[in-house]
């Protein structure tokens, strides 16, 4: 079985160094090279990144391959901090993951005294209660193309994110590109508690609803959010007005059926069917949610419902596309759709044989979310 090529190593990263919280301006500027004043902060520097003692997750690459899970549009808060290494916040914990030699993934929790709690939260975030091998075996048995793609793209998991964090990220993603989405999400994240710096990147706990409520529409517009600013402010206000609290309401959607979750989310400002489906799939345990955009529609018309080729992507057509995926792949259709979407990204051309190429041009890659 071929293994995806290892990406070239990024420039050497700085050791993980706890710092005082910085303003968002510092997030997008090079970190100061000034020496640390040990009289002001007598704490010793942590060990260098190369000396990190990785703890094994005891999960093989067929269940989790980091480069096919994190930089694929599910979350915009994780960073590549070393060769086959990604770092990001999970609640109040700052965690690094690394693909180890052999057949395992290692994890390391930065600046925490509650390593066991962080590990439990990490397993939940990675959706480890679901066996990727088991559900993919069903997909491969019924879909020859999926079976071929799976040989080269194994380990592409669907994450289980915090619902509020996921919701705000995908409101930012509406008709947007990855680079700009990331800057917006960084700005909002900077309103939360500072967790530390790893590899030259500052990381923050995602802000609470109360903290988000203190951010004005004018401030968001000044930061470049455009029309999305009013949607974020409106959604935060709508969540705060929910009986029992917005966080509890979002969590309750995990117990709802898919249509109930989509309908509930769609009452929030700036949340259309596509954003709602993304939030449902990536945070609300709605494993057969299908986020339909132009690229997913193209996949469907090539392989599932060719009779819809050339049609306009109306709400009715979106519904037929979603139904086609569920009919083909069943209750985990969203996981199958995720792999098929990843296979269309230009970045996978170096991994897939030319017979499996169906990538769109890089200039066309845009999250067309409504």
Q: What is the mean pLDDT of the chain?
A: 86
Mean pLDDT on 185-207:
98
Kindly name the residue from 61, 274, 349, 362 that is annotated as catalytic.
Answer: 274
Q: Which CATH class is domain 130-154+288-369?
A: mainly alpha
At 95 the three-state DSSP class reads strand
pLDDT tens-digit readout, 82-93? 999 999 999 999
Mean pLDDT on 162-186:
96
Q: How confident is the model at residue 348 (pLDDT cuts 50, 70, 90)?
A: confident
Does 274 participate in catalysis according to the annotation?
yes
- The pLDDT assigned to 327 comes to 97
The residue extents of the domains of the chain are: 53-129, 130-154+288-369, 161-285
User: Is residue 326 pLDDT above 80, yes or no?
Assistant: yes
Question: What CATH fold (topology level) applies to the domain 53-129?
Answer: TATA-Binding Protein (3.30.310)
pTM: 0.83
pLDDT tens-digit readout, 200-215? 999 999 999 999 999 9
pLDDT tens-digit readout, 274-316? 999 999 999 999 999 999 999 999 999 999 999 999 899 999 9
The token pair at 114 is 């509650």
CATH number of 161-285: 1.10.340.30
Residue 313 Cα distances to 80, 267, 270, 359, angstroms: 35, 22, 19, 20
Output the DSSP codes for 197-239. EETTEEEEPPPPHHHHHTS-HHHHHHTT-TTHHHHHHHHHHHH
Residues whose CB is less than 8 angstroms from the CB of residue 21 and which lie 6 or more positions away in sequence, other chains included: 193, 194, 204
Residue 100's H or E segment, with its range, is strand 93-100
């Amino acid at each position: 079985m071929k293994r995806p090529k290892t990406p070239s190593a990024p420039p050497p990263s700085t050791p993980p160094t706890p710092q005082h919280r910085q303003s968002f301006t510092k997030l997008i500027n090079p970190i100061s090279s000034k020496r640390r004043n040990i009289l002001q902060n007598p704490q010793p520097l942590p060990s260098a990144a190369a000396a990190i003692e990785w703890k094994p997750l005891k999960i093989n690459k067929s269940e989790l391959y980091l480069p096919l899970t994190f930089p694929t549009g599910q979350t915009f808060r994780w960073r590549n901090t070393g060769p086959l290494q990604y770092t990001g916040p999970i609640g109040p914990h700052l965690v690094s993951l690394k693909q180890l030699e052999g057949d395992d993934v290692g994890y390391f929790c930065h600046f925490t005294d509650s390593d066991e709690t962080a590990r439990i939260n990490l397993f939940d975030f990675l959706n480890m209660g679901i066996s990727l091998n088991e559900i993919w075996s069903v997909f491969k048995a019924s879909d020859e193309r999926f079976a071929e793609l799976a040989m080269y793209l194994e380990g592409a998991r669907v994450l289980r994110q915090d619902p509020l964090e996921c919701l705000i990220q995908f409101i930012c993603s509406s008709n947007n590109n990855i680079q700009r989405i990331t800057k917006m999400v960084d700005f909002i994240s900077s309103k939360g508690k500072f967790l530390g710096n790893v590899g030259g990147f500052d990381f923050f706990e995602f802000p609470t609803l109360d903290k988000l409520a203190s951010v004005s529409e004018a401030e968001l517009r000044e930061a470049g959010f455009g029309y999305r600013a009013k949607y974020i402010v409106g959604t935060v206000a709508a969540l705060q007005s929910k009986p029992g609290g917005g966080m509890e309401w979002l969590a309750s959607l995990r117990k709802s059926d898919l249509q109930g979750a989509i309908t509930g989310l769609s009452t929030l400002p700036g949340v259309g069917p596509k954003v709602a489906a993304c939030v449902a799939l990536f945070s609300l345990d709605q494993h057969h949610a299908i986020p339909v955009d132009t690229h997913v529609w193209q996949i469907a018309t090539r392989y599932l419902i060719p009779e819809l080729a050339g049609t306009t992507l109306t709400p009715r057509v979106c519904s037929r596309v979603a139904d086609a995926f569920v009919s083909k792949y069943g209750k985990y259709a969203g996981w199958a759709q995720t792999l098929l979407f990843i296979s269309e990204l230009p970045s996978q051309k170096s991994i897939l044989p030319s017979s499996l190429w169906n990538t769109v041009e890089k200039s066309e890659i845009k999250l067309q979310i409504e």
